[in-house]
Amino acid sequence: MGNISNRAIINKSAKLGNNVKIFPNAIIDEDVIIGDNTIINSNAIIRSGARIGKNCEIFPGAIISEIGQDLKFNGEKTYTFIGDGTTIREYVTIHRGTKDRNKTVIGKNCLIMAYVHIAHDCLLGENVIISNTSQIAGHVTIEDYATISGMVPVHQFTKIGTHSFIGGGYRVSKDVPPYVLAAGEPLQYKGLNVVGLRRRGFSNEKIKEIKNIYKIIYQSKYNIKDAVNYIENNFQLTNESKHIVDFIKNSERGIL
């Protein structure tokens, strides 16, 4: 079972994996599943519907799977999924889904820093980093390896693309395409997230390819729709360039 404090409050229906550690004053509600080797620190609260993976750590004061701040919520059965290897720091709040998506998902190996709020029905991919005090509204989608700096508010229904980086303190009100560096008020394209791409093994040739795609989108005479058409008709689309095109074509809020 692991190291379970007798001063923790744990519902009898909660399912705990092997070697789970739960420290004093933590609260684990009914219908909770916690995977092997996960640590729940003091004063953390795990509400009903939480599904926490293996090798996670939930730091003091965090609240996982609380009901969302959505007036349309009517008590429906929904969930919060936390992927293996994810770290959730102090006083983070993560709300479970509503009938819209029925779940809030945090992927594997994410780092959610102190005082971050992730609202109902958000979907985060793997290896996402969200820095201190950023506030993620409901129904937001964040793709793998995206990084959000501190004190960033993200508008509901926004999408943030893979390997993108958002500078600290800037407001996200439109979709942020994959691989880009975004900063400024209003939020603007500031080039590629070159440092992040190199850290993750992207070659110079691949970075140049992505940069050429964004030159057409942001620095040519074309509007966004025509730029996408030009790229589809004149570039040999790789996985990366196809993902950029599909992301933009499927954007409902429009890109920054």
Structure letter (DSSP) for residue 36: T
CB 39 within 8 A of CB 56: yes
Question: So what's the pLDDT on residue 196?
Answer: 98
- The partner residues of 57 in beta bridges, in order of sequence, read 39, 87
| Cβ-defined contacts of 150-155 (< 8 Å, 24+) | 150/113, 155/253
| Set 49, 95, 107, 121: catalytic member | 121
Task: Please write the tens of the pLDDT for every residue from 30-42.
Answer: 999 999 999 999 9
Q: Which of 95, 117, 120, 139 is catalytic?
A: 120
Residue 84 known to be catalytic: no
The burial of 180, by beta-carbon neighbours within 10 Å (0-12 exposed, 13-18 middle, 19 or more buried), is given as buried
Q: Is 120 a catalytic residue?
A: yes
Q: Find the catalytic residue in 138, 139, 144, 196.
A: 138
Name the pairing type of β-strands 15-16 and 33-34. Answer: parallel
128-141 pLDDT, tens digit each: 999 999 999 999 99
Asked about 163 being catalytic, the answer comes back as: no
What residues contact residue 70 under an 8 Å CB cut-off, 6+ apart? 98, 120, 138
Say if pTM beats, i.e. exceeds, 0.75.
yes
pLDDT tens by residue, 195-210:
999 999 999 999 999 9
Hey, what are 26's tokens? Answer: 């933590």
The HSE-up count of residue 16 (CA atoms within 13 Å, CB side) is: 20
Q: What is the pLDDT of residue 1?
A: 54
Interval 145-198: pLDDT, tens: 999 999 999 999 999 999 999 999 999 999 999 999 999 999 999 999 999 999
pLDDT at 11 over 80: yes
